[in-house]
Amino acid sequence: MADIDNKDQAEMDPADMEDVEEVEEDETGEDENSKARQLTVQMMQNPQILAALQERLDGLNGSPSGYMESLPKVVKRRVNALKNLQVKCTHIEAKFYEEVHELERKYAALYQPLFDKRSDIVKAAYEPTDEECEWKADEEEELTDEMKEKAKLEEEKKDEEKEDPKGIPEFWLTVFKNVDLLSDMLQEHDEPILKHLQDIKVKFSDPGQPMSFTLEFHFEPNDFFTNTVLTKTYKMRSEPDESDPFSFDGPEIMCCTGCTIDWTKGKNVTLKTIKKKQKHKGRGTVRTVTKTVPNDSFFNFFTPPEVPENGELDEDSEAVLAADFEIGHFIRERIVPRAVLYFTGEAIEDDDDDYDEEGEEADDEEGEEEADEENDPDYDPKV
């Protein structure tokens, strides 16, 4: 049998022999590649190797490539000239943002009459006309005349069964509860107070004054505090840092100041009373001590950490201020201008749609990766 095989091989064309050798080499290469892939997967599952790799990558972040150092001196001089031009651009950009602030102030005055009317409707100081209440629904939401009449009768029946509410009850509280950034700040004991919130206004600094804006929270008379308005002022700066001009990225909030809340006795939700038992070291007697400690509350928003003159803060205070600045900007730029859409949830749905699209893309990519792995003859799901 061996003689026959040798004879067959002798009679084969030399070109065929080359093909056979190439196939054998390919198969060997595939086996080696498969083993290499499996070894790589196992290594990447080792936490010590991953930690070492991450440390190495962290060390590379921001490290110079050496290209600049390799440039001739004459070229480096020209690059320095470009950087000086960039600094001048940064100062022009700062002036641009100052003018944007002036433009915001101008248009805030145009928006305000509309916001005032919104407030009057919310707090029942003004009843809108039928014409003002007419809202054209989307085509898919349009109803037949028969369905409209039926819905109208049902609404009238409901109105007869209950008291006619004034304005739009709990308008701002609903807005806060609908927005994750704000609802995370709310505690159950805050809600009865925020039911009395009637309006939030944004006031910009006067012309010629340093850039700033103030959030005004207007409350109707209530049993919790005597203030009718609670304020929070954010001071801003639109100028590059001389020591690091290229870090400039538009106006930044430098600090913020709150206000004193004149709480009614026993109604301060930012404080809570706790009782602790203390044992006397010598006599062994036990006594109960009452202490007042800070309490989680939305109204802590009006007492932010103070920024020292040297500007240095501990990590906790920095984190609190960073979150505070984000909230202040969000209320000013999104909540106040589009309050009704956050009340109805339409603005939130738009935000969610954006996130869903990203999620779908990620899911699709993940699905494609899984499909590729399953179609790979070397893929081993156990590895």
Residue 339 has what pLDDT?
Answer: 95
Task: Note the pLDDT tens digit of each residue in 325-364.
Answer: 899 999 999 999 999 999 999 988 655 555 444 444 445 5
- The phi and psi torsions of 199 (rounded to 5 degrees) equal -165, 155
pLDDT at 3 over 60: no
Which is more confidently placed, 81 or 161? 81
Residues with Cβ within 8 Å of residue 93, at least 6 apart in sequence = 248, 250
Q: Retrieve residue 221's tokens.
A: 């008379």
Residue 361 has what pLDDT?
Answer: 46
Query: Degrees (nearest 5) of the Cα angle 163, 167, 169?
Result: 75
Q: Is the pTM of this model over 0.85?
A: no
**Amino acid identity for residue 195 in this structure:** K
Residue 70 has what pLDDT?
Answer: 86
C-alpha neighbours within 13 Å on the C-beta side of residue 70? 4
Which is more confidently placed, 53 or 305? 305
Residue 11 has what pLDDT?
Answer: 46
Query: 222 and 335 in contact (C-beta within 8 Å)?
Result: no
Location of structure tokens 């006397």: 280
Q: How many helices (DSSP H) and strands (DSSP E) are in the chain?
A: 13, 6
Average pLDDT of the chain is: 77
pLDDT at 270 over 50: yes
Which is more confidently placed, 27 or 347? 347
Residue 55: pLDDT band (50, 70, 90) is low
Q: Where are the domains of the chain?
A: 80-128+167-241+251-344
Which is more confidently placed, 76 or 383? 76
Cα end-to-end distance, the chain, whole Å: 42
Q: What is the DSSP letter of 210?
A: P
Task: Note the pLDDT tens digit of each residue in 289-329.
Answer: 888 899 999 999 999 888 776 667 777 777 888 888 899 99
Task: Note the pLDDT tens digit of each residue in 140-186.
Answer: 455 556 666 666 666 666 555 566 788 999 999 999 999 999 999 99
- Residue-by-residue DSSP string for 13-68: -HHHHHHHHHHHHHHHHHHHHHHHHHHHHHHHT-HHHHHHHHHHHHHHTT---SHH
Calculate what percentage of the chain has a pLDDT beyond 90: 36
Question: Under CATH, which number does the domain 80-128+167-241+251-344 receive?
Answer: 3.30.1120.90
